[in-house]
Each structure stands twice: as structure tokens, then as C-alpha cells.
């Protein structure tokens, strides 16, 4: 009997799972959901990233999961600690939408989704982790679930479309 669990992470959080468990996060807008996994070991980590860079933080302790630059690094460590092998890691990502398209409001925050995606990719490159699939940009929110057993990232939007990458 399988006792698989769906581990849920919230905004600015991250977690790692081993099959048969799956991991999901809901309501990604400009945020990016990044998954780093080792298919052979069926282990996967996911972070729900809000902002591109920890240099945007103003004082205080930095929550690594919140920023693309710190989240990717921390996630790599988490996945390796859970049995993932350096050199075997791959990534999938989704999110980075621009939710309010016809607004002039928000200033430089309007492009935050695209900037999040760019920085996540830059960081993955730094760790030599290939992005094997992505569903980013656009104007819709996304809920994503990753299954480390199959390596499939399932993406659902408010319009109930389901996409598997």
C-alpha cells in the first residue's frame, strides 16, 4: 500500500521530497516555482521564489527560499542532503507571470515575474543544472505539482487547463 503524501509549500518556502511523495505549491503569480531533482534517486526539492535577488532585502535575517539567488543554492544543498547526486540534477520551472497587464502601476515591480525567471536561470547555470522544461511568463496564475517518481511537473491555471511538462 502506498502512503504517498502531497507536501505543500507556501509562498517564500521550500521543501524536499522523496518518492512516492509529491510536492506542490499553489497560486504562483509573479513568483517562480523552481524544482531541482535527481530522477535516478527520485528526490526533488521545490522553492516558491518571490524576488530575484537577496540584495533587495532591507536588513534582518534573509529567508533563503524567498530570493532566487539564495533559494537555488539552498535547494541544491537540500536535494543533495536528501540523496540527490551532484551532476545528476535537473531543473523544471513555472511561474513568473505578469498578473496585471494593463496597469501602469507598480513601477519596476511590474516586470518582477520576468526578472525572477531570469535570475533563477542564471543561478541554475551557476550550478550547472540544466533546465529541462519550463512554463513561464504570460498573465495567469499557476498551481504546480512535481512527482519525483515520474519527473513530471503538472501545471494548472485558474481556467482549469492542465499541462504536464
Cell of 1: 500500500
**31 carries an active-site annotation:** yes
By rule CB under 8 A, what count of residues binds other proteins?
37
Q: Applying CB under 8 A, does 6 fall inside the site for other proteins?
A: no
Pairing of strands 152-157, 162-164: antiparallel
Residue 161: Cβ within 10 Å count:
10
**Interacting stretch for other proteins, rule CB under 8 A, among 9-17, 86-94, 117-125, 129-137?**
9-17
Kindly state the smallest distance separating residue 81's Cβ from other proteins, in Å. Answer: 23
Work out whether 31 is an interface residue with other proteins (CB under 8 A): yes
In sequence order, what are the beta bridge partners of 147?
Answer: 152
Q: Is position 12 an interface residue for other proteins (rule: CB under 8 A)?
A: yes
Q: Show the cell assigned to 160.
A: 482549469
The residue annotated as part of the active site, out of 19, 22, 31, 80, is 31
State the cell numbers at 132: 529541462
Backbone angles phi, psi at 148, to 5 degrees: -65, -20
Which set of grid coordinates corresponds to residue 128? 550547472
Q: Rounded to whole angstroms, how far apart are CA atoms 131 and 113?
A: 17
Q: How far is the CB of 64 from other proteins (least distance, A)?
A: 11
| Number of residues that make up the chain | 165
x/- contact string, 103-142, with other proteins (CB under 8 A)? xxxx--x--x--------------------------xxxx
Chain contacts with other proteins (rule: CB under 8 A): 9-13, 26-31, 50-51, 56-60, 63, 66, 97, 99-106, 109, 112, 139-143, 158
User: Could you give the residue numbers annotated as active site?
Assistant: 31
Amino acid at each position: 500500500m502506498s502512503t504517498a503524501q502531497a507536501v505543500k509549500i507556501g509562498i517564500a518556502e521550500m521543501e524536499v521530497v522523496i518518492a512516492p511523495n509529491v510536492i506542490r505549491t499553489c497560486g504562483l503569480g509573479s513568483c517562480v516555482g523552481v524544482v531541482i531533482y535527481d530522477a535516478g534517486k527520485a528526490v526533488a526539492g521545490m522553492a516558491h521564489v518571490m524576488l530575484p535577488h537577496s540584495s533587495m532585502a532591507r536588513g534582518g535575517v534573509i529567508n533563503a527560499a524567498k530570493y532566487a539567488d539564495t533559494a537555488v543554492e539552498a535547494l541544491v544543498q537540500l536535494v543533495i542532503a536528501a540523496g540527490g547526486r551532484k551532476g545528476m540534477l535537473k531543473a523544471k520551472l513555472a511561474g513568473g507571470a505578469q498578473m496585471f497587464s494593463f496597469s501602469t502601476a507598480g513601477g519596476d515591480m511590474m516586470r518582477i515575474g520576468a526578472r525572477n525567471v531570469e535570475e533563477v536561470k542564471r543561478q541554475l547555470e551557476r550550478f550547472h543544472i540544466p533546465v529541462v522544461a519550463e512554463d513561464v511568463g504570460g498573465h495567469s496564475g499557476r498551481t504546480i505539482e512535481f512527482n519525483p517518481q515520474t519527473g513530471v511537473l503538472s501545471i494548472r491555471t485558474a481556467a482549469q487547463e492542465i499541462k504536464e511538462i
